[in-house]
Amino acid sequence: MEGSREIPIWFFIGVLLSIYGVMIFGYGLWELITGHLAHVVLARLHAPVWWGAIMLVLGLFYLVRFRPGR
Amino acid sequence: MLTAPVLSLGNSLPAATAVALTTTSLARLGGLDIAVIVVYFAMVMWIGYYLKSRANTSEEFFMAGREMTAWIAGLSFVSANLGSLELMGWAGSAYQYGILAAHWYWIGAIPAMLFLGIVMMPFYYVSKTHSVPGYLKLRFGQGSSTVAAVSFAFMTILMSGVNMFSMALVMKVVLGWNITFSIVVSSLAVAAYVALGGLRSAIFNEVLQFVLIWGGALLVPILGMIDAGGWTGLKNRILTNFQGQDYLHLWRGLGHFHDNPMGVHWTGIIFGLGFAISFGYWTTDFLVVQRVLAANSLRSARMAPVIGSFFKMAVPFIVILPGILGLVVLHNPDGSLMHLVGENIVSAHPGAGLHSYNEVLPLMLVRYCGPGLLGLGITALIAGFMSGMAGNVSAFAAVWTYDIYQPMLRRNARDEHYVTVGRWATVLGVVISIGAAYLVMNAQGIMDYVQALFSFFIAPLLGAILMGMFWKRATRQGGFWGLLIGTVTSVSLWAWVHFDPSALRYVALSPDARDMAENMYRALWSLSITVIITFVVSLFTKPRDAGELNGLVYGATVLPAEDPVAFYKSELFWAAIAVVVFVALNVMFW
């Protein structure tokens, strides 16, 4: 993107979002399965599941789309 | 007392509200939250280390090789302004004043950003200047440039320290973290990645931080709106709980100073905020302009602020809306509605469990975000602080090296020498910032003075730049004296009101005016004085030949032809769309 053979910033963003997506989605799944909900308002909406999933999907998209050497 | 920004014009403008220092922390982080924060720090260091090899020349180190695309420059442009104190301060202001706070994101930013992109950017970019003081040097000579460079370098680094201390205090309030720990860890990380990778590293991290801020903060208004029963539910609950108070209209209460809680008038909002302050910050503060100068073409440089304007218009969704939602969804443990108060009230009642306005965002975060998501929200606040600080030190390093060190101390050194000076200036800037942070910690009364100081330079600088850029007849002497006397005017007006509060009726044109109105009108006065002095002095001094003004002045510059593009790729097309959205938002919340 900026100059030859440079890893684009969007790839770094993909890496970060993917890692966060796995961590938060994973925790959300654990909450969902075990029923141990965090003591927060609207916990029944399982925000970690869908917010983590959104981050993971976006992260994977950027990872693939802007992978080095593409 | 901790002061947080009240103006949305970056971490460089004055403040008025405060976050109270409570004895107990609002939140407790778990292992997953800590892991989220650690991953973030690892990522920014990775980026800095990776880009180390691409910051070998001065052009690469200070200007990112002028290789940034419009999107990257545009996101960085907005991100450098989106500090964590900005987020928390304005969420607190929204809790206090309602949607009026959005003026600082819309009329207080969008017209100026579009003007920078469409009208002013060609002159900055074509002149190939490395900085805003550098442009002044080309147009008005070394005197004006030195005044602007020294004041910018001094105040930028001092403000960086003030914000560093404020951020550390926020971390203490929210998480109970040790102040020194917060200062050392975050500032060392910024010093490392900016000194290693220069402006490119700062910009890359700012884009990353921008995404992170949205990822961490966007969930709060989404869940808050569900909690409040949607927009209709929010409106109804505000009407029920706060009868007679208008939290949801932008313009209706601005007919007179005493008709709105901010104590402002529509003329102040439009001419003071919307023109003098906003144009001063967004078009002449090198902290933000540096990001756009790093664009890879004139078209990208013009498009970057236009792209940034769309994101700026969206920021109230993660800042203003949570503040307004806090009015109706935050409750005490006994179920009663929570009422946030001013810092002085919190300080006067220690141990009473009171929270100040500026704690509304962390309170909302704690209300909705469990493990992982809480860490993400806290990381967003840290990212906001770091992006602001990186902006400060990278701009400081460039101005110090190009506009102070090179012309005054060592004129004809090798390029490598200036890169080395830039790297050390980055480290030195961080060290001075840390010193300033501890200075403020031990004498917090000076914080208000420091923040007021920075505001003194913005409007006069705008006057000088506008006269230089759009009036061929403006002379070196006119620019210098206009800038100097405009700045002295700003300082004098501030001092007048400071020592005699009744003077507000003259400075802000009404005895009912309040602090924010004073800022707006003071900026307007100093801008006017700068323009008048520049005009008068120029008439009595010798102008430069028109041939010397090519690339610097409107009407004397032949802009390079650019390849035609489809209309939907044109900056004019997107600027027009931005104007339509801007007008629609103001009408919608009239």
Residue B169: both structure tokens together: 């205090």
Of A6, A17, A48, the CB nearest to B373: A48
* Of the candidates B252, B233, B87, B114, the residue with the CA atom closest to the CA atom of residue B588: B252
Q: DSSP letters of B400-468?
A: IIIIIIHHHT-SS--HHHHHHHHHHHHHHHHHHHHHHHHHHHH-TTHHHHHHHHHHHHHHHHHHHHHHH
Give the mean model confidence (pLDDT) for residues B434-451: 71
Which value does ipTM take for this structure? Answer: 0.93
**Domains of chain B, first to last:** 2-444 (1.20.1730.10)
Residue of A nearest to B370 (CA): A38
pLDDT digit string (tens) for B456-506?
A: 888 899 999 999 999 999 999 999 999 999 999 998 998 898 888 888 888
Q: Does B219 touch chain A (CB under 8 A)?
A: yes
Q: What is the mean pLDDT of chain B?
A: 86
Enumerate residues 6+ apart whose C-beta is below 8 A from B326: B91, B95, B340, B360, B363, B364
Residue B429 · residue B154 · CB < 8 Å: no
Using a CB-CB distance cutoff of 8 angstroms, which residues of chain A are in contact with residue B376?
Answer: 20, 24
Q: What single-letter amino acid sits at A47?
A: A
SS3 B393: helix
Q: What percent of chain B has pLDDT over 90?
A: 38
pLDDT 10s digits, B337-358:
888 888 778 778 877 778 888 7
Residues of A in contact with B211 (CB under 8 A): 13, 16-17
Interatomic CA distance for residues B14 and B291, integer angstroms: 22
User: What is the per-residue pLDDT across B260-275, written as a single tens digit (0 to 9) for each?
Assistant: 777 788 988 898 889 8
Please report, as a single letter, which amino acid is at residue B5.
P
**How do residues B162-219 score in pLDDT, each as one tens digit?**
778 877 877 887 788 888 888 888 888 888 888 888 888 889 888 988 898 898 889 9
Please report residues of A whose CB lies closer than 8 A to that of B65: 2-3
Distances (CA, A) of B473 to B454, B468, B553, B559: 29, 8, 10, 20
The token pair at B572 is 């004019």
Min CA distance, B67 vs chain A (Å)?
6
Label residue B446 by pLDDT band (50, 70, 90). Answer: low
For residues B244-265, give the mean pLDDT: 82
Tell me if chain B has a CB within 8 Å of the CB of A35. no
A32 touches chain B (CB under 8 A): no
Determine the residue type at B235: K
Tracing tokens 């910051």 back to the chain, one arrives at B55
Contact B223 A47 (CB under 8 A): yes
Task: Give the confidence band of A5 by pLDDT, cuts at 50, 70, 90.
Answer: low
| A69 Cβ under 8 Å from any chain B Cβ | no
Can you give the residue ranges of every domain in chain A?
A: 9-65
Q: For residue B5, what pLDDT is reported?
A: 37
Beta bridge partners of B15: B5
- Cβ separation of A23 and B32 shorter than 8 Å? yes
> What is the pLDDT at residue A4?
53
**Mean local confidence (pLDDT), B117-142:** 89
Q: B226: which chain A residues are within 8 Å (Cβ-Cβ)? A: 42, 45
User: What is the per-residue pLDDT for B12?
Assistant: 33
Question: Which residues of chain B neighbour A15 with C-beta distances below 8 Å?
Answer: 43
Which chain A residues touch B68 with a CB distance below 8 Å? Answer: 2
The nearest CA of chain B is from the CA of A13 a distance in Å of 6
Closest CB from A7, A16, A27 relative to B372: A27
Q: Is the pLDDT of residue B152 over 60?
A: yes
Q: Cα distance from A2 to chain B (closest Cα, Å)?
A: 6
Query: Going by C-beta distance under 8 Å and a sequence separation of 6 or more, which residues neighbour residue B146?
Result: B133, B403, B404, B407, B408
Residue A41 near chain B (CB below 8 Å) = yes
B46, B321 contact by CB (below 8 A): no
Asked if A3 has any chain B CB less than 8 Å from its own CB, the reply is yes
- Higher-pLDDT residue of B140 and B64 is B140
Residues from chain B contacting residue A19 (CB–CB below 8 Å): 39
Summarize chain B as % helix, strand, coil (round to 5): 75, 5, 25
The CB density around residue B408, as the number of other CB atoms within 10 Å, is 12
Reported as a single tens digit per residue, the pLDDT across B494-523 is: 889 888 888 888 888 888 777 777 888 888
Q: Is B371 on the interface with A (CB under 8 A)?
A: yes
Residues B109-126: b if buried by 16+ CB within 10 A, e if exposed: bbbbbbbbbbebbbbbbb
Q: Indicate the range of B334-338, B367-371, B374-378, B536-540 predicted with least confidence.
A: B334-338
Cβ contact, residue pair A2, B68, below 8 Å: yes
Say how far apart CA B293 and CA B550 lie, in whole Å. Answer: 18
Looking at CA atoms only, how far is residue A38 from chain B in angstroms? 6
The pLDDT tens digits for B56-65 are: 888 888 888 8
Q: Is there a contact between A9 and B36 if contact means CB atoms under 8 Å apart?
A: no
Distance from CA of A33 to the nearest CA of B (A): 16
Is B368 in CB contact (< 8 Å) with chain A?
yes
Interface check for B227 against chain A (CB to CB < 8 A): the answer is yes
pLDDT at B11: 35
Q: What is the pLDDT of residues A6-65, one digit of tens each?
A: 788 999 999 999 999 999 999 999 999 999 998 899 999 999 999 999 999 999 999 999
